[in-house]
Structure 1
């Protein structure tokens, strides 16, 4: 036992020396979301997304789970130079998750996760102050992750997998100096990556997971551009045509996670996570247009680039579960999620703030093999000052979000 704990401690120390930040809204497991989206849970196949090595500890040969959320997010902007205010009118977003895991042998497990870990839908309206930056945007990324895990000992397993991502984006903005507007649309943009994990159970009370998900760079090619401009400008040197194509790359951050779950008693457990996200790779957002010279690059006017210069960020999570009976479980949690966006580069396309969230939910065991879970999250974004000199955009912003999720888990046999 001492050897196991010493071995585990070495990994934990190494991890803490490496860690740093989180940005995306995390909704890849209904039960996990109710406990602040902590990750060291192996009741069912939902662990496939969080840590592939955890599949080795699922208490059934075949496990299938799925769920969906309804997300309502609001943001409010206040100008520093006037009493002007603007609010988003965002539609409800429906992120989902599905996972399956199968023990091929006593030591070898295989799994599949399909989810939407990245996505944003923001509508500021066509007449707001920042309309030349963005009026409306919808981003969505699907992750498909086939994974494998191998149980090296009774208390330690390793796992890994391949990530195939496909993304779509719709973006609208005004070109007010010519009384026009522009719409960008891209679909089926691919990206690739991998995930790795280790899972420890040195005692029957303690679970520890360490996982890493690589950066996934989305490469959009031949996206569609639609320009609505005065007819007198069509065919000029700058506006060759009202339809065009574009290319762009968008990095989705790497993520390192340490998760712990400790069973205080048979009916009560407590969990905590620390996430580090490598958003520093997102340095700029660049569009390469095929024909129209509507960019800002002095050497190539078909290129439009704006700085982002994201920073690495962290998220800190703690959650608990209490089961008064074998069938019923109550869950609570809290997390603090840092924004990777600096004040001087903040952009309304992603109204990012430091967030504090309260989570909760319950689970019910319908049969010996079937579980139903419900979760809810309310987070409030801390008010922040915007000082984007590059875009000439100044003010204050705050945000909030409500999320409700429902899911089923089936441990077949």
Structure 2
């Protein structure tokens, strides 16, 4: 009915993992998270590496710890609300060497709202030491990457993705040295824990039809006749670093440069699970050949490096302005990923085609009184995806930010901050073809809002 080489080639493609490691969209570009500070959120993260009195610099630019006022602890939590609903859907089958089922609509709905509301925590600790407190030590706990989308299991785009869940959590230790009151350098080392779960449906009817060159039709196995599922899970710990310098040409101006390294996660203990319809396995003997069987696997997933230029300037005792520009090196990190299965399943080389991106923001603070501070900011946030590579796991699009914030200092050593951001987006379009030839076209309605709160205590 088929040759082993043909079946191996088709089944390798049919796993449908070609979009699985694309993860998905967060409120920052792709699955990147900036939400590490309620104070920073209120000004669209302008001044993220150069502003006074925000302990999140421990993670973003350790050199700016000299801008912190003594020993302190800060805790932040952000709630990200992201919605993604697909509209104007066209779907059709186009599988098999003779085009069996070509043009036939795929059953299922629009998948519902694939978005979520999720908390993103962060925490910081800072202590100065040394002669004249010219050295600083800090600890940070942040989540720089993460997202989750989940569609209905039987939706029309199930062959492209049903679930994507990624979390990256960093625990870092930072040190900085003040050369003088105007120049400081710092560095941090962090351990990053990455977890991934990815799932999609597999059109085993198309697998059988293609592998048998149409002979499986006699058994009722044609494209769309027998769905199964594939799930991939993995986790890894890896180490990265941040280096930076902060320069103050005047006592009212800070200019900061910081660099966060890429983090290479070599996942060696991943798990791949498959649900194969019994009639397909009986007809083709997949599991006997070691194909579509549960197994371990390995892959290298590289999270991108970033470089930031940040400037903050005090106009007077009440007004402060700031700006940021960040470049994220997606292109070398997400050009392609190879998935190596521990079974007879051939390796998959996954091509993503991500491009480098720019995030730029400007913001301001106004000290209304000794206890109340108002903030605002705007930002431009570029997506790494393009129309030719966008899929259901990454309904991502360039967006604009509008942010507001409020600070309240009821006591000299206690401060509370609140921030809110609304994202303005266009409707991203997709035109994707699964590995078994199923076509999905449409537009998304996407939206996002972020609300954050923090407490800072000096002791």
Equivalent in 378, 390, 409 of residue 346 of structure 1: 390
CA gap 1:285/1:128 in 2 versus in 1, 3 angstroms: farther
Residue of structure 1 equivalent to 2:253: 206
Residue of structure 1 equivalent to 2:218: none
Equivalent in 1, 16, 28 of residue 36 of structure 2: 28
Q: Which moves more between the two structures, 247-256 or 36-45?
A: 36-45
Question: Aligned-pair distance for 1:52?
Answer: 0.6
Which consecutive aligned stretches of 4+ in structure 1 deviate over 6 angstroms post-superposition? none
Residue of structure 2 equivalent to 1:141: 168
Structure with greater contact order relative to length (CA < 8 Å, sep ≥ 6): 2
* TM, length-normalised to structure 1: 0.87
1:44–1:63: 8 Å Cα contact kept in structure 2? no
Residue of structure 2 equivalent to 1:277: 328
What are the superposed Cα offsets for residues 136-161 of structure 1, whole Å, 9 maximum, x if unpaired? 11100011221111101211101111
Counterpart Cα distance in 2 of 1:249 and 1:380: 34
Counterpart Cα distance in 2 of 1:316 and 1:191: 28
1:78–1:86: 8 Å Cα contact kept in structure 2? no
Counterpart Cα distance in 1 of 2:422 and 2:110: 23
Counterpart Cα distance in 2 of 1:226 and 1:386: 28
What are the superposed Cα offsets for residues 75-99 of structure 1, whole Å, 9 maximum, x if unpaired? 2333564798554333321111111
Matching of residue 116 in structure 1 with residue 143 in structure 2: yes
1:275–1:314: 8 Å Cα contact kept in structure 2? yes
What are the superposed Cα offsets for residues 255-299 of structure 1, whole Å, 9 maximum, x if unpaired? 011111111221111111001000011112332111152xxxxxx
CA gap 1:87/1:258 in 2 versus in 1, 3 angstroms: farther
Question: Aligned-pair distance for 1:231?
Answer: 2.9
Question: Aligned-pair distance for 1:205?
Answer: 1.9
1:64–1:409: 8 Å Cα contact kept in structure 2? yes
Residue of structure 2 equivalent to 1:67: 76
1:22–1:255: 8 Å Cα contact kept in structure 2? no
Counterpart Cα distance in 2 of 1:218 and 1:347: 23
Residue of structure 1 equivalent to 2:420: 376
What are the superposed Cα offsets for residues 37-84 of structure 1, whole Å, 9 maximum, x if unpaired? 121223042211121100122121x12111111111112333564798
- In the TM superposition, 1:326-341 aligns within 5 A as 326-341=370-385
Question: Aligned-pair distance for 1:240?
Answer: 6.0
Counterpart Cα distance in 2 of 1:345 and 1:192: 29
Counterpart Cα distance in 2 of 1:117 and 1:256: 14
- Structure 1: state its 5+ residue gaps: 1-20, 294-300
1:113–1:146: 8 Å Cα contact kept in structure 2? yes
1:22–1:277: 8 Å Cα contact kept in structure 2? no
SS of 2:63's equivalent in the other structure is: helix
- Rg larger in 1 or in 2? 2
Residue of structure 2 equivalent to 1:95: 120
SS of 2:123's equivalent in the other structure is: strand
Residue of structure 1 equivalent to 2:55: 45
Q: Which has the higher strand share?
A: 1
Counterpart Cα distance in 2 of 1:218 and 1:49: 20
What are the superposed Cα offsets for residues 105-159 of structure 1, whole Å, 9 maximum, x if unpaired? 1221111111001001111221223211210111000112211111012111011
Question: Aligned-pair distance for 1:390?
Answer: 7.4
Matching of residue 315 in structure 1 with residue 359 in structure 2: yes
2:85–2:110: 8 Å Cα contact kept in structure 1? yes
Question: Aligned-pair distance for 1:375?
Answer: 1.0
Residue of structure 2 equivalent to 1:216: 263
* TM, length-normalised to structure 2: 0.78
Residue of structure 2 equivalent to 1:184: 232
Counterpart Cα distance in 2 of 1:274 and 1:291: 45
Equivalent in 221, 226, 244 of residue 295 of structure 2: 244
User: Root-mean-square deviation (CA), in Å?
Assistant: 2.1
Question: Aligned-pair distance for 1:393?
Answer: 4.3
Equivalent in 272, 297, 305 of residue 254 of structure 1: 305
Residue of structure 2 equivalent to 1:385: 429
Question: Aligned-pair distance for 1:376?
Answer: 1.2
Counterpart Cα distance in 1 of 2:314 and 2:307: 24
1:198–1:211: 8 Å Cα contact kept in structure 2? yes
